[in-house]
Amino acid sequence: MSPLELRAGASLAGIFGLRMLGLFLILPVFAVHAPNYAGGDNLTLVGIALGAYGLAQAMLQIPFGMASDRWGRKPLITVGLVLFAAGSFVAAAASDIWTVIAGRVLQGAGAISSVVVAFAADLTSEGHRTKVMAMIGATIGFTFALSLIAAPALYRLIGMRGLFVLTGALALAAIWVVAAVVPGAPPRVHAAPGEGGLAGAFAPELLRLNFGIFVLHMVQMAMFVVVPPLLVAAGLALADHWMLYLPVVLVSFAFMLPPILYADRRNRPKPVMIGAIALLAGVLALFGALPPSIAGVAALMLAFFVAFNILEALLPSLVSRIAPAHARGAAIGAYNTTQTLGLFFGGLAGGWLAKHFGNGLLFACCAVLTVAWLAIAAGMRNPARAGAVNPAAGFALGGKQRI
């Protein structure tokens, strides 16, 4: 990758990491602290407080993406980070659960995921775009693993109010990264007459990818409804689960790199994607068939995260390549909306299936859904590589213009 692409990838991954660390730090400890709020003993309201962020994200990803297509990526990222910081400070000042919910909604209103991914696509050539998406995905995975370790210690040190203040401070730090470190945007590609708005953002090939990210995150959330209890039943105390998750996540990054590099260098994203989906389906089938053991769950979780990380890197890269340049933000907004909805429905369906039919049927349903995704993905065309030139006229990546 050129120095500009490395700088773009590292800085945008850093923005994602700062923002997601602020979000993830809350998750391991909030349910424990919630009874300290007025109304916090109502588990339904606690669940709403946790889920309000995702609902706001789902509603605003497409508007943020469309706005960034029109007014530019950096201004919209800055607005989103300001909203996230404001929501963090509202939650920090809360004494009742309803104020926390309001703060979480305001946090979620800063729906910049689609804008950051679109910006990463703007600043990188197609030949290196999957690697940049992998950098962003790896940063998210690392911050999640870090939060599992850091959140309990920070909670003991600074409390829930301090954690919310820290999330706001991290968002403000990300604003500085946007202003001082992220490269300037290339000239925007304007739509032809009649092609503005959502035109081109819902092409059939994009719908295949949107269905895929919906399934991937639905399966992920459904799994995590039952995997922690499986580990407890196998003899691993809840407080020690990070000792399994952290090495599994970190080792999975090493295993994901060769397929990602192969997909980029040979322009073979489709076979790599098909292989990762097939691996995911096999993991889910084995989860439902094997008796729980710590070693067995660890091995399956490693395979799951290898497939998950490959797909998390490939899918947004493919969206950015297939979507027309003038509607890239809107297309990635639609993609991120289906991703968020997958999280919501995965938790809902996973809890319902596990409660009424048991873990075996839950994993079986997830495996069948993944096989359906495999069948749909099999019909996708391997996208042609447009070359190393950014589609914005006159903008040459890495300082070298190619005609």
* 348-351, Cβ contacts within 8 angstroms, sequence gap of 24 or more: 349/218, 349/222, 350/221, 350/222, 350/223, 350/224, 350/225, 350/226, 351/225
Return the pLDDT at 220: 84
Give the integer Cα–Cα distance in Å for 104 and 50.
8
Return the pLDDT at 174: 87
Check if CATH label 1.20.1250.20 holds for domain 198-383: yes
For 352, residues 6+ apart whose C-beta sits below 8 A from its C-beta are none
Q: What is the DSSP string of 91-153?
A: HHT-SBHHHHHHHHHHHHH---HHHHHHHHHHTS-HHHHHHHHHHHHHHHHHHHHHHHHHHHH
- Around 399, how many Cα atoms within 13 Å sit in the side-chain half-sphere? 5
Task: Using DSSP, state whether 38 is helix, strand or coil.
Answer: strand
For 179, residues 6+ apart whose C-beta sits below 8 A from its C-beta are 74, 78
Q: What is the DSSP letter of 46?
A: H
Give the integer Cα–Cα distance in Å for 374 and 146.
32
Question: Closest Cα partner for 288 from 365, 392, 364?
Answer: 364
Tokens of 164: 């919310």
Per-residue CA distances from 230 to 177, 241, 293, 299, 361 (Å): 41, 11, 8, 14, 15
- Evaluated on CA atoms 157, 160, 162, 165, the torsion sign reads positive
> Phi first, then psi: what are they for 148, rounded to 5°?
-60, -30
**Amino acid identity, residue 102?**
A
Q: Per the confidence metrics, is the pTM higher than 0.85?
A: no
Give the integer Cα–Cα distance in Å for 399 and 359.
54
Return the pLDDT at 282: 95
Give the integer Cα–Cα distance in Å for 128 and 329.
19
Tokens of 152: 């309990």
Give the integer Cα–Cα distance in Å for 194 and 49.
41
Q: Are 133 and 257 in contact (CB under 8 A)?
A: no
Return the pLDDT at 393: 33
Return the pLDDT at 247: 87
For 131, residues 6+ apart whose C-beta sits below 8 A from its C-beta are 1, 9, 260, 261, 264, 313
- Listed by start position, the domains of the chain span 1-183, 198-383
The per-residue pLDDT string of the chain (403 residues; one tens digit each, 9 = 90 and over) reads 678 788 888 888 888 777 777 677 777 677 778 889 998 888 678 777 877 777 788 788 888 888 887 888 899 999 999 999 999 999 999 999 999 999 988 988 888 887 888 888 788 776 677 777 777 777 776 777 777 778 778 888 998 899 999 989 988 988 998 888 888 767 665 555 445 555 556 678 888 999 999 999 888 878 877 787 788 888 887 677 778 878 888 898 889 889 988 887 777 888 999 999 999 999 999 988 888 788 998 999 999 989 988 898 888 878 877 877 777 777 877 888 888 788 778 777 777 788 788 888 989 999 999 999 999 999 888 776 654 434 333 333 333 333 2
Give the integer Cα–Cα distance in Å for 22 and 30.
13
Q: Are 202 and 319 in contact (CB under 8 A)?
A: no
Give the integer Cα–Cα distance in Å for 305 and 141.
9
Q: Are 208 and 375 in contact (CB under 8 A)?
A: no
Topology match between the domains 1-183 and 198-383: yes
Check if CATH label 1.10.150.130 holds for domain 1-183: no
